[in-house]
Amino acid sequence: MRLNKYISETGVCSRREADKWIEAGRVTCNGQSAALGTQVAEGDEVRIDGALIGVKKKPIYIALNKPVGIICTTETHIKDNIIEHVGYKERIFPVGRLDRDSEGLILLTNNGDIVNEILRSENNHEKEYVVSVDRPITDLSLSMMASGVKIMGERTKPAKVIRIDSQTFRIILTQGLNRQIRRMCSALGYKARRLQRVRIMNIQLGKLPAGQWRHLTAPELESLVAANSRG
């Protein structure tokens, strides 16, 4: 098994983060400094910063209705971080992020493989949002959002866009550029007043109260695992 996969399966971090730690010289295997691509066999001793990491932990999958003001970081010294907000007894980390001013569904887990699978843009996993803007939005603007808007030097992928009322719409994305929806609105002359994510793939926010979390259901988990096996 590759070292980054072994580390992620113990729940310490994602594969991507493990690669960074390996490159930084923080990881050893059987007392020797590890390299990217190092293979780990049963009985090998892997340490991070000198601390022995254990066997694969039971996967944890949580859905949180993130309130406005909570920051999607694992850095617990940062005020209003998502880890302390959830207060889970074992180490978990968020899958992707919602910016501080946004709210709604975000997943947290100790499974780095799932993290990589959901975030990998080429997999085209759907994420659905409800957005309210500062003034009535035209049908032309909604059509432009659906076909793609140029932001940060590139055109966004086509999206599904449905009007809810004069200043609110539903948008389904298959990519996740930094502050993408807010930038799309801004490019068309609007300001996003409220941005709520209501779905990730098959996982719905539903009636989960703001600030509360729940474990994923068996059907939700089966779909995630199936998607991961295809990735």
Catalytic residue set: 99
CA distances to 6, 29, 34, 50 from 37, rounded to whole Å, are 11, 12, 9, 20
**Can you say whether residue 153 is alpha, beta or left, with left for phi > 0 and alpha for psi between -120 and 50 degrees?**
left
Rounded Cα gap, residues 55 and 201, in angstroms: 30
Q: Retrieve residue 11's tokens.
A: 């729940």
CB distance 116 to 15 below 8 Å: yes
Rounded Cα gap, residues 214 and 191, in angstroms: 31
Amino acid at 79: K
β-sheet with 32-33: strand ranges across: 32-33, 27-29, 46-48, 51-52
* SS3 of residue 115 by DSSP: helix
Rounded Cα gap, residues 190 and 117, in angstroms: 32
Rounded Cα gap, residues 197 and 97, in angstroms: 11
